[in-house]
Amino acid sequence: MALAGAVLLTTAPTASADYIRDQQWALNVFAAEDVWTESQGEGVTVAVVDSGVDASHPDLTGQVLQGKDFTGGGNAQEDVLGHGTAMAGIIAGHGHGAGNSSGVMGLAPKAKILPLRTLQTNTDRNLDETWGAAVKYAVDHGAKVINLSFASDGGSKTLSAGREAIAYAQAHDVVVVAGSGNDGVSAVSEPAALPGVVSVGAVDKDANLWDKSNTGEGLTLTAPGVDIVNTNPTASKGYGLGSGTSDATAFVSAAAALVRAKYPDLTAGQVINRLIKSATFAHHKGLKAPDEEYGYGIVRPYSALTMDIPAGPKKNPLGQLSSSSSTSNKASQGTDSSSQAKKKKSSSSNVLGLVGGIAAVLVIGAITFAVIRSRRKGGNGGPGSSGGVSQGAGYPPAQQSFPNSAPNHGYHPQEQSLQPPNPYGQQPPSQNR
């Protein structure tokens, strides 16, 4: 297994913690302060099947459960790769300092993280039997949402161990969320392409699809996944900036945790239904759900918590993976395109980097800070470097348009020159996945 992006570290002095918080553009467009008046994810455990989670990171202290290491020994609360900790921060970071005003805040800051380490380094293979065992462990230890921020290697199919594990989770009322992949192809990778899994693509701060985000039939939702500030213990100052459907997956997992906390009587399928029916196509006109680039739309946590949406059937609107079936409608639909047909049918080896590592992780230090400050002064505001990595979110206010649940939710007065997006309403999800 290899990360799809480079890693850049610096030894620059620490940037101000307030600066870190200021770069969390996704919280602004989600109107997170309004979201948190409705739910903060309290009482919900989100399993992060990944490279482990650094429980000592100041923005995650007290949030990380003991978990389990599936790599042959070790501690799931350690993370030498940094990817799992980054996902955990997006989901349940609580910041630090006075009033927790410094550092990274997650979208569901009172949710608990169950770290399940299935690989340690970027050369480890994330085998189906390994992550499958972790998924089953998550179910048996109280997780209500499972975050799978990885995608299959070379388009390989999920083997029986992985399929059985996801079927087990679905049978036990757990929401499973996975990234669509970072190949930029029109085929959703597995395990995201499996029936009943919430498959997630990535959009940028303008609510436009990220060009590396996998698309195609079977895509469920999209979420912020470009220039996302994260908690990263491998960075010299503990923070990084990344892009990928990994990050988008973590935001949707957090949104599911918010809904499960506010509506504990809803089944996993009803939670998914609420996420789907509250999503928006934003400024993208004329799309029909499910769209192959945006799915049912861009996730809107506030709307998912507040819209008047009937609970609906208890079954998962995305289908159900049968534990005894080796094929499925969703899997076949997600792999029959000409693009997917060209992919290798190799043994399943899942790559974290395909989903989250394609954009480099880098330290937010004085160098980055200086670049962003110079851009702001110059009014440039565009992406900062090649290779799909931006070294800062120094965009002008007018570019912060994003889907929101109601007028003024996530729109500051100086940003209202843009037309508010037309929210995608409550069309019923298609059963034909």
Q: The domain that contains 328 carries what CATH number?
A: 3.40.50.200
Asked whether residue 425 is domain-assigned, the answer is no
* pLDDT tens track, the chain, 433 positions: 222 222 222 223 344 447 888 999 999 999 999 999 999 999 999 999 999 999 999 999 999 999 999 998 789 999 999 999 999 999 999 989 888 888 999 999 999 999 999 999 888 889 999 999 999 999 999 999 999 999 987 678 999 999 999 999 999 999 999 999 999 999 999 999 999 999 999 999 999 999 999 999 999 999 999 999 999 999 878 999 999 999 999 999 999 999 999 999 999 999 999 999 999 999 999 999 999 999 999 999 999 999 999 999 999 999 999 876 444 444 444 333 333 333 333 333 445 544 444 443 443 443 343 333 333 333 332 222 222 222 222 222 222 233 333 333 322 222 222 223 333 233 333 333 4
**One domain, residues 150 and 43:** yes
Asked if the structure places residue 217 within a domain, the reply is yes
**Does residue 420 lie in a domain region?**
no
Choose one of 297, 330, 362: the last residue of a domain. Answer: 362
Catalytic sites, residue numbers: 50, 83, 246
Task: Based on the fold, state whether residues 227 and 374 are members of the same structural domain.
Answer: no
User: Side chain identity at 170, as an amino acid letter?
Assistant: Q
Residues 313 and 402 in one domain: no
Q: Within this chain, do residues 258 and 399 fall inside the same structural domain, yes or no?
A: no
Same domain assignment for residues 253 and 394: no
Both 162 and 52 in a single domain?
A: yes
Cα–Cα distance between 90 and 83 in angstroms, integer? 11
Residue 296 and residue 218: Cα distance in Å, rounded?
10
Domain containing residue 174:
7-362
The reply to whether 184 and 277 lie within a common domain is yes
Please tell me the distance from the alpha carbon of residue 49 to that of residue 342, in angstroms, as a whole number: 28
Residue 430 lies in a domain: no
How many whole angstroms separate alpha carbon 299 and alpha carbon 286? 18
Domain end point (choices 362, 385, 406): 362
Q: Which of 297, 328, 362 is the last residue of a domain?
A: 362
Q: How far apart are the first and last CA of the chain?
A: 30
- Domain for residue 428, yes or no? no
336 and 379 share one domain: no
In a domain, 424, yes or no: no
Report DSSP state, residue 51: S
The answer to whether the CB of 305 falls within 8 A of the CB of 258 is yes
Residues 310 and 392 in one domain: no
**Has residue 192 been placed in a domain?**
yes
Q: Are 120 and 85 in contact (CB under 8 A)?
A: no
Within this chain, do residues 349 and 221 fall inside the same structural domain, yes or no?
Answer: yes
Q: CA-to-CA distance for 218 and 195, rounded, in angstroms? A: 8
- Residue closest to 63 by CA, chosen among 112, 117, 114: 112
Residues 393 and 269 in one domain: no
Residues 399 and 306 grouped into a single domain: no
Provide the whole-model pTM: 0.78
Number of domains into which the chain is organized: 2
Question: Is residue 404 in some structural domain?
Answer: yes
